[in-house]
Amino acid sequence: MEPEKLSLRKYTAIIAILLVLIMTVLDVTIVNVALPVLAQQFDISDSMTVWIVTIYQLLITMLILPLSSVGDLFSYRRTFLTGVAVFTIASVLCAASQSFVMILVARAIQGIGAACVVSVNVALTRLIYPPKVLGRGLALNGMAVASATAAGPTIAGALLSIASWHWLFLINVPFGIAAFWLGKRYLPNNPEVESKSKFDVVSAIENILMFGLLFLAFGGYTGKNDEVKFFVLLGASILVGLFYVCRESHRSAPMLPVDLFRIRLYTLSIITSVCSFIAQMLAMVSLPFILLNSYGFSSIATGLLMTPWPLTTMIISPFAARFVERHNAGVTAAVGMGLFAVGIFAMLFLSAEGISKWGIVWRMAVCGIGYGIFQTPNNIVMVTATPIFRTGGAGGMQSTARLVGQTFGATLVTIIFAVGHGTTYHLVHVCLCISMCFAIIAGVFSVSRRICRSSSPESQIADMS
């Protein structure tokens, strides 16, 4: 490997990206823990407090693809730096909030900043890492996300035990300033392209409406007299989506990357990603109920018993990245999803009367190992299947697939618990069975990528246009 590939400049640029990635993930997990404190602080109900988390995720979902387009057309670097600045300033506004409305607005602004970062994160990573070791960069990003997810509740608990809730947001400020300074100095500029399209404002509005309505429909569904609202929002989302897809299908550089779906490898990777995140969320959201309600573990013990999952994912990801540098990524990802399904299958044998902590830990670890083997190879295929000048849109769609899968997975748990009959133990098992089915589907789609033709992404788009 050439010395230039390991330059200090590139390592420093990656540090800037990782810092902000960790910040954006932590601002979901640590705020979740603080919701009871915030409900008391602003004198609001628990259900209203959830909007402090929901508004953040909603803005990210709606803005990822428009901001990815901004990055493709203008600059990934400037989009990233703008996001860091907005996110950091919004963190100060969150800490200074004196009312529920004020913190809600500040969290929405924070979501805009996070969307800027998430939309171009993959594109910047692809520009920094040489193609042969791109998997290591994506694995490092995955490790950062897994670490922040696993450590979030612990960090929140520690901060709340020694300081007020304001510090959950103020902690972002020094890291945001550091990331902005490092990014301004060391992040690369976009590669030169022959011509650039103009930013499509109409498509941006359609995108925001489509994903916003979809997220509100599934994210707000509780199964209790919500059917009319759910179907109205879902129908409106589908209607807007039809106009959106029709408009995008006639554009040379669409915001919703419908042209990239002509690349079979990319399409299979997106489907695989959505199915895998549905499977993951079905299990991760439902399992705490059986640990808390059926087995009687405390909240702290439940959190610790769930930790082996993200922890093993974090440990395995870099090894999976190195492995796929020499082996087929699609097959490797399929093996990982198969192992994940085995872990979920083992969960089905959790006794209704209880089980040892070790019995829970090793099952969680198997799920985490399987997901670690799957995640990085799948991301590598998804990113490298597209032309480099469309990496922003491809990366934005990757994040959108994750959010859509997570939303569907969490909503399925809500629906099963709302309309299902039986004990918590049996309802959790229904969730686990569906999770295992989605994992198997993801594995089948993943292994099918092995037979895709090996022509370049650019030629595949050209052939089918």
Q: How many CB atoms lie within 10 A of CB 209?
A: 18
Q: Which residues contact 246 (CB under 8 A, 6 or more apart)?
A: none
> Which residue would you say has higher pLDDT here, 178 or 223?
178
pLDDT 10s digits, 420-432: 777 878 888 999 9
Q: What is the pLDDT of residue 129?
A: 81
pLDDT confidence of residue 4: 43
Which residue would you say has higher pLDDT here, 463 or 273? 273
3 state DSSP class of 358: helix
Lowest mean pLDDT among 70-79, 233-242, 250-259: 250-259
| pTM for this entry | 0.75
| Residues near 58 by beta carbon (within 8 Å), at least 6 away in sequence | 111, 212, 215, 216, 219
Distance of CA 305 to CAs 280, 345, 354, 357, Å? 16, 18, 14, 7
Q: How far is CA 62 from CA 183, 207, 235, 240, 292, in A?
A: 25, 7, 17, 13, 34
Instruction: Write the pLDDT tens digit of every residue in 283-329.
Output: 887 887 787 777 777 767 777 788 888 888 888 888 887 887 787 88
pLDDT digits (tens, 9 = 90+) for 63-100: 988 998 888 888 889 999 999 999 999 999 999 999 99
Q: What is the pLDDT of residue 352?
A: 63
What percentage of the chain has pLDDT greater than the value 70?
87
pLDDT confidence of residue 464: 40
pLDDT given at position 240 = 93
Cα(228)–Cα(236) distance, rounded to whole angstroms? 12
> Positive or negative, the Cα torsion across 317, 322, 323, 324?
positive
CA gap 114, 30 in Å, rounded: 15
Question: Look-up: residue for tokens 């990210």?
Answer: 60
Position 225: which residue type? N
With CA atoms as reference, report the closest residue to 129 among 433, 315, 376, 461: 376
**DSSP conformation class of 195:** -
